[in-house]
């Protein structure tokens, strides 16, 4: 066996253990008994210790030093690149700190859920302060002199920097604000879909739509959780959703969103199973798939035309005049507090708020105890309304409680990528709307699987998007063009 | 920190990882997507490697060599004893063999489920042959010159030997056979409970009864699985059940059985959490709790009197004349193929069959390919009927597919223990029947928690039973006395 084969065998076991650790998180969010929390914290910490020890094992460093990348094929070189990067990153974080982060975030997540239910930020603030303290220490260790926030960001979007993102977001913001103002001031305001909708039928419809978009239930399952998410890679990729009797779109579109994530894992070349290439390459690329599934495809006029009919079959007559009014109900732009329920026009404004606040927390400019106040002030400035309760404000997202800093901006980057990909997809699959109108997104999702998802970690994030777009590098233009065209039509601007 | 503290810290992480591995098995049996099987096999093997590496780590041997047991308190000494025994056992099995067993049994379990569904033993035979081959190699390694079967048995019932069990079973068999003959030939034959019973109501009733027996849902949950089981220790102890529209007793009594197992974990002194003492001390002791919950308590005249009324509230009027006829229906002795559905009189005859066949397979006297024939011949000899299909014969139990050899005899040992404990309990809690008649098993299950379950692994199996029985060593007499008295009454002998 060559050093490379040894390394890949070793990496395969590490990947398998990482899948186990990920499934432990899935379990915690879906089925874990409430009282198990303290024990689970120790279990998660023990798994983190094992993974950290494997990732920092001197043998990996020795193998990496011995292997000549020039002797490998492109797949081998890509694997080596991922392993080297992960090895370098992991070795910078002390094992004790990594273990403490795992333990603290495991119980912090429970504290967050309780504080959110009780609408009590003060109960969560000291827990968040501890998480931020640990993440700042981790960022310092990772950055080794560079920008601490970029060091965290790099874990989710290799190669991206806050400075670059800020420039992109600066270009996004004015046209989004202008579009929102026009939409909010429009004479034509689509009505919402009112009524109550049986939640078990919602779950059934959600499964049907998940399958239609390409979710493979032989290698996945759908459960309920507080926060919808996708979990796992390879042959076991699970998603969660939530239902509300008065908001069937919440369940449908959060599911389609998570199906985008799940397909980004399920459709990777099976040759890459349990290797570093067997996972979506970055959160931005991941989010590009969840958002294009959810919005450019799922909320298109063509697909909502089909959904309008299907929902009447499932729930009986709907209180909307026609498919056009239904399309308007799906795409309404309204004042709202919750990022995950936000419309396409305002969504990125939610993200920019979090991006700035978390950069300030990591930079030490914003004390976690002051987060609620800072959030509420910024929200009122950006959205024109006061936050009414923490569950609608700074306690709405799970991310920070589990230590995810540097993750939020990848949502907007994903939207930018989705804009670029949709433009390319329309060129490549001209009849995409005809299929969507029949409730069949497969020509579209199949193109994405073939041109993007199957590559897994073979290419760097920017490169794989550029390749899928026929050599055109990603920019915010196509997303803005798409949004302006779509909402001008919906709102008859 | 002393060597002992170091050892206990290390052991605590190992225990936490073992809980994770156990939960992976729970996941596989309850919620895992079908197509995930090949990946799961690699995940299980990776976890087994981690655990094996920890258990054979030279540091453990060094700590054990350095620690003077005389300096420890009784709890410390008991912990040390468990760690030493596990260390000695694990070090005898090569890491490659341990990994292969984990991998093969993971996929063998899937093969077993498929073969069972298809009633096709031949499809499973080569898989079983591989499992037996690996377990024989493991037994040879463990026995280091001693009896290979005893070496496997010792993993489930420390200190027990096949020779001793054989003597006990030889004393059981004639009185059980005589009782069965009298029961089968009795003029009075209780009628079964006929009808169909809503399965979701069965699940609700099952949860109610589980709680009544003391199952703590804050630290547990109930799901459906092909084979009911209990999984986990400490703060996360999950059970599974199965339902059948025409057999509500199947669901109720398999649940009460698993609740006995679960209480045996949940009621252990919390000071022992994630230490070697924080688990039921042996399978025999475990089974004594599941069987006393299920039979001596759950199938008692007092409790069935309450259950008769409760089931009429839940399901409407039952087609039985009175509580006496209901009690007869619960305790009917009939010809049947399935061990887990067997009555108290014949149950141990099922176990003895498996005990002899698995000893022969481990000794190399019975080829796995010949198992179906051997099983069917022995079954006809013992039970007087021919096995009609493998799902009712040698494919009915999951155990061998997952490598559990030496486990079956602990079922009968547990029944013997249960007989002894019930005798002691009746002396200690004279009004136990009055509470059971009100649907309240807590005085009984509380006594078991206090006198047996809370000790976890503090005492050796025989010792903890002897202590709970006020100094009387276990023997088969009380079980036989109890069965003869009970079934003489039920069958009006």
Write out A15-26 in H/E/C secondary structure.
Answer: HHHHHHHHHHHH
Q: Is B279 in the same domain as B338?
A: yes
Chain B, nearest residue to A34 by Cα: B218
Residue B61 has pLDDT above 90, yes or no: yes
Q: Does A16 touch chain B (CB under 8 A)?
A: yes
> Smallest Cβ distance to A13: which of B13, B33, B49?
B49
How high does pLDDT run on average in chain B?
95
> What are the chain B neighbours of A27 within 8 Å (beta carbons)?
23, 27
Q: Is A286 marked as a binding-site residue?
A: no
DSSP code for B354: H
Would you put residue B247 in left (φ > 0), alpha (ψ -120 to 50) or beta?
A: beta
Question: Rounded CA gap, B448 and A194, in Å?
Answer: 56
What is the DSSP track for A258-307?
HHHHHHHHHTS-GGGTTSTTSS-S-HHHHHHHHHIIIIIITTSHHHHHHH
Chain B, nearest residue to A43 by Cα: B16
Q: Is B121 in the same domain as B175?
A: no
> What are the chain B neighbours of A45 within 8 Å (beta carbons)?
16
pLDDT of residue A373: 97
pLDDT 10s digits, B38-51: 999 899 989 988 99
> What are the chain B neighbours of A52 within 8 Å (beta carbons)?
none
Question: Rounded CA gap, B84 and B50, in Å?
Answer: 19
Q: Does A457 touch chain B (CB under 8 A)?
A: no
Question: Rounded CA gap, B331 and A151, in Å?
Answer: 68
> What are the chain A neighbours of B32 within 8 Å (beta carbons)?
236
Q: For CA atoms B52, B54, B55, B61, give the dihedral sign.
A: positive
Q: Quote the domain boundaries for residue B354.
A: 162-490
Question: Is B157 inside any structural domain?
Answer: no
Chain B, nearest residue to A38 by Cα: B235
Q: Is A287 marked as a binding-site residue?
A: yes
pLDDT of residue A125: 97
Q: Is B319 in the same domain as B356?
A: yes
Distance from CA of A118 to the nearest CA of B (A): 20
- Sheet with A230-231: strands ordered across: A222-224, A238-241, A230-231
Domain boundary among A106, A139, A156: A156
Point out the least confidently predicted range of A349-358, B192-201, B379-388: B379-388
**Total H helices, total E strands in chain B:** 20, 3
- Residues of A catalogued as catalytic: 258
> What are the chain A neighbours of B49 within 8 Å (beta carbons)?
13
Return the ∠ at Cα A90 (arms to A89 and A91), rounded to 5°: 95
The H or E element spanning position B346 is none
pLDDT of residue A91: 87
A339 CB contacts (<8 Å, ≥6 apart)? A347, A350, A351, A354, A396, A397
Task: Determine, for residues B217 and A20 on separate chains, whether the beta-carbon distance falls below 8 Å.
Answer: no
Q: Does B220 touch chain A (CB under 8 A)?
A: yes
Task: Determine, for residues B235 and A38 on separate chains, whether the beta-carbon distance falls below 8 Å.
Answer: yes
A247 CB contacts (<8 Å, ≥6 apart)? none
pLDDT 10s digits, B288-322: 999 999 999 999 999 999 999 999 999 999 999 99
Q: Does A484 touch chain B (CB under 8 A)?
A: no
Q: Is A115 in the same domain as A210?
A: no
Interface list for B 39-68 with A (CB within 8 A) = 39-40, 42-43, 45-47, 49-50
Q: Is B181 in the same domain as B43?
A: no
Residue B436 has pLDDT above 90, yes or no: yes
pLDDT of residue B56: 87
Chain A, nearest residue to B31 by Cα: A221
Domain boundary among A125, A156, A187: A156
pLDDT 10s digits, A438-483: 999 999 999 999 999 999 999 999 999 999 999 999 999 999 999 9
Q: Is B125 in the same domain as B16?
A: yes
B403 CB contacts (<8 Å, ≥6 apart)? B101, B104, B105, B108, B131, B134, B135
Q: Is A132 in the same domain as A245?
A: no
How far are the Cα atoms of B309, B310, B441 from residue B323, in angstroms, in the given order?
8, 11, 18
Q: Residue A346 maps to which CATH number? A: 1.10.1370.30
pLDDT of residue A383: 84
Q: Does B373 touch chain A (CB under 8 A)?
A: no
Task: Determine, for residues B47 and A218 on separate chains, whether the beta-carbon distance falls below 8 Å.
Answer: no
CB B119 within 8 A of CB B390: yes
Kindly calculate the radius of gyration of chain A based on its CA atoms and give it in whole angstroms: 22
Domain boundary among A156, A184, A218: A156
Distance from CA of A243 to the nearest CA of B (A): 20
Task: Determine, for residues B274 and A39 on separate chains, whether the beta-carbon distance falls below 8 Å.
Answer: yes
Of residues B482 and A90, the one with the higher pLDDT is: B482
Q: Is B198 in the same domain as B342?
A: yes
pLDDT 10s digits, B216-271: 999 999 999 988 999 999 999 999 999 999 999 999 999 999 999 999 999 999 99
- Residues of B catalogued as catalytic: 258
Question: Is B155 inside any structural domain?
Answer: no
Task: Determine, for residues A47 and B218 on separate chains, whether the beta-carbon distance falls below 8 Å.
Answer: no
CB B296 within 8 A of CB B482: yes
**Mean pLDDT by groups of 10 residues along chain A of 493 residues:** 94 97 96 96 92 91 96 96 93 88 88 96 97 97 92 94 92 90 94 96 97 98 93 98 94 96 98 97 97 98 98 96 97 92 93 95 97 95 90 96 96 97 97 98 98 97 96 95 98 95
Task: Determine, for residues B39 and A273 on separate chains, whether the beta-carbon distance falls below 8 Å.
Answer: yes
Compute the average pLDDT of residues B7-15: 97
B264 CB contacts (<8 Å, ≥6 apart)? B280, B285, B286, B289, B290, B453
SS3 B231: strand
If we measure between CA atoms, which residue out of B168, B219, B427 comes closest to residue A39?
B219
Question: Is B227 inside any structural domain?
Answer: yes
Q: Is B196 in the same domain as B76?
A: no
pLDDT of residue B337: 95
If we measure between CA atoms, which residue out of B420, B379, B359, B345 comes closest to residue B165?
B359
Task: Determine, for residues B45 and A16 on separate chains, whether the beta-carbon distance falls below 8 Å.
Answer: yes
Q: Is A380 marked as a binding-site residue?
A: no
Percent of chain B surpassing pLDDT 90 = 90
Residue B1 has pLDDT above 80, yes or no: no
Q: Is B435 in the same domain as B308?
A: yes
Question: Is B156 inside any structural domain?
Answer: no
pLDDT band (50, 70, 90) for residue B341: confident
Chain B, nearest residue to A49 by Cα: B13
Q: Is B220 in the same domain as B81?
A: no
Domain count across chain A: 2
Residue B181 has pLDDT above 90, yes or no: no
Q: Is B317 in the same domain as B398?
A: yes
Distance from CA of B225 to the nearest CA of A (A): 15
> Smallest Cβ distance to A43: which of B19, B34, B220?
B19
């Amino acid at each position: 066996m060559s050093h490379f084969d040894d390394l890949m065998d070793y990496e395969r076991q590490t990947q398998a253990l990482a899948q186990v650790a990920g499934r432990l998180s899935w379990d915690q969010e879906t089925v874990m008994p409430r009282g198990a929390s303290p024990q689970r914290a120790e279990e998660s910490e023990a798994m983190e210790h094992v993974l950290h020890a494997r990732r920092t094992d001197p043998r990996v460093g020795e193998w990496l030093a011995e292997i000549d990348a020039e002797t490998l094929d492109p797949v081998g070189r890509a694997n080596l690149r991922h392993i080297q990067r992960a090895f370098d990153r992991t070795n910078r974080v002390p094992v004790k700190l990594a273990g403490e982060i795992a333990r603290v975030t495991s119980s912090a997540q429970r504290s967050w859920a309780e504080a959110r239910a009780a609408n009590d930020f003060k109960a969560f603030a000291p827990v968040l302060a501890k998480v931020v303290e640990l993440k700042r220490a981790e960022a310092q260790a990772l950055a080794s002199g560079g920008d601490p926030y970029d060091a965290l960001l790099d874990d989710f979007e290799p190669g991206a920097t806050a400075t670059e993102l800020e420039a992109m977001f600066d270009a996004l913001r004015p046209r989004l604000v202008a579009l929102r103002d026009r939409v909010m001031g429009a004479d034509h305001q689509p009505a919402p879909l009112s009524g109550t909708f049986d939640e078990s039928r919602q779950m059934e419809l959600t499964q049907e739509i998940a399958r239609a978009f390409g979710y493979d239930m032989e290698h996945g399952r759908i459960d309920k959780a507080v926060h919808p998410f996708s979990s796992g890679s390879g042959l076991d990729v699970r998603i969660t959703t939530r239902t509300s009797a008065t908001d069937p779109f919440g369940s449908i579109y959060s599911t389609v969103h998570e199906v985008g994530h799940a397909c980004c894992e399920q459709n990777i070349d099976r040759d890459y199973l349990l290797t570093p290439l067997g996972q979506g390459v970055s959160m931005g690329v991941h989010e590009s798939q969840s958002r294009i599934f959810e919005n450019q495809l799922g909320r298109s006029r063509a697909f909502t035309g089909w959904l309008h009919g299907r929902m009447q079959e499932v729930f009986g007559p709907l209180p909307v005049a026609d498919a056009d009014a239904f399309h308007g109900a799906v795409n309404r732009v309204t004042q709202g507090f919750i990022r995950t329920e936000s419309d396409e026009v305002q969504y990125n404004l939610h993200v920019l708020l979090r991006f700035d606040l978390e950069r300030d927390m990591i930079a030490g400019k914003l004390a976690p105890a002051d987060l609620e106040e800072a959030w509420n002030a910024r929200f009122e400035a950006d959205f024109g309304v006061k936050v009414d309760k923490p569950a609608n404000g700074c306690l709405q997202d799970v991310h920070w409680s589990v230590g995810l800093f540097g993750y939020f901006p990848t949502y907007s980057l994903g939207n930018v990528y989705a804009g670029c990909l949709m433009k390319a997809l329309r060129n490549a699959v001209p009849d995409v709307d005809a299929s969507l109108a029949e409730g069949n997104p497969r020509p579209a999702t199949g193109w994405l699987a073939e041109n993007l998802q199957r590559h897994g970690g073979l290419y760097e994030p920017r490169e794989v998007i550029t390749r899928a777009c026929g050599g055109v590098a990603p920019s915010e233009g196509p997303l803005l063009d798409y949004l302006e065209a779509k909402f001008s039509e919906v709102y008859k601007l």
